[in-house]
Amino acid sequence: MRRFLLPALLALALPAIAVPALAADAKEYTLTLRKNRFVPAQLTVPANTKVKLIIVNEDSTPEEFESHELNREKIVMGKGKITVWVGPLKPGRYPFFGEFHMDTAQGVLIAK
């Protein structure tokens, strides 16, 4: 059974190693977390192209940037900064939120 499992798992793992990073010259946008809110709460980005989101947490407590529509989930520590690649997106609205402060940390990405 082992002799079968190993190739199976390798097959799963290999693409991760083989495919090089895809983003070279994407546009960069910054979202700031301030007092558990996203600033700006509405961000317009170009559609049909890869976009680099920088999320800067000015608060001292951790937050989790999350969006079901964008299929993204990433923790940003207090006073920390993360990069989240999104897209290419079809034109439309993509809500996102901070999972640790859902009552205030709400925002939407608009792809045009």
Residue ranges in contact with other proteins by CB under 8 A? 1, 4-5, 8-9, 11-13, 15-16, 19, 21-23, 60-64, 68-69, 71-78, 80, 82-85, 88, 99-103
Least distance to other proteins, CB of residue 40, Å: 22
> Sign (positive/negative) of CA torsion 8, 9, 14, 16?
positive
* Distance of closest approach, residue 61 Cβ to other proteins, in angstroms: 3
Shortest distance, CB of residue 10 to other proteins, whole angstroms?
Answer: 11
* Most distant pair of Cα atoms in the chain: their distance: 54
Q: How far is the CB of 31 from other proteins (least distance, A)?
A: 15
Q: Which residue, 68 or 112, has its beta carbon nearer to other proteins?
A: 68
* DSSP letter for each residue of 64-110: EEEETTTTEEEEE-TT-EEEEEE-PPPSEEEEEEEGGGTTT-EEEEE
Contact indicator for 84, 47 with CB cutoff of 8 Å: no
> Which CB, 75 or 110, lies closer to other proteins?
75
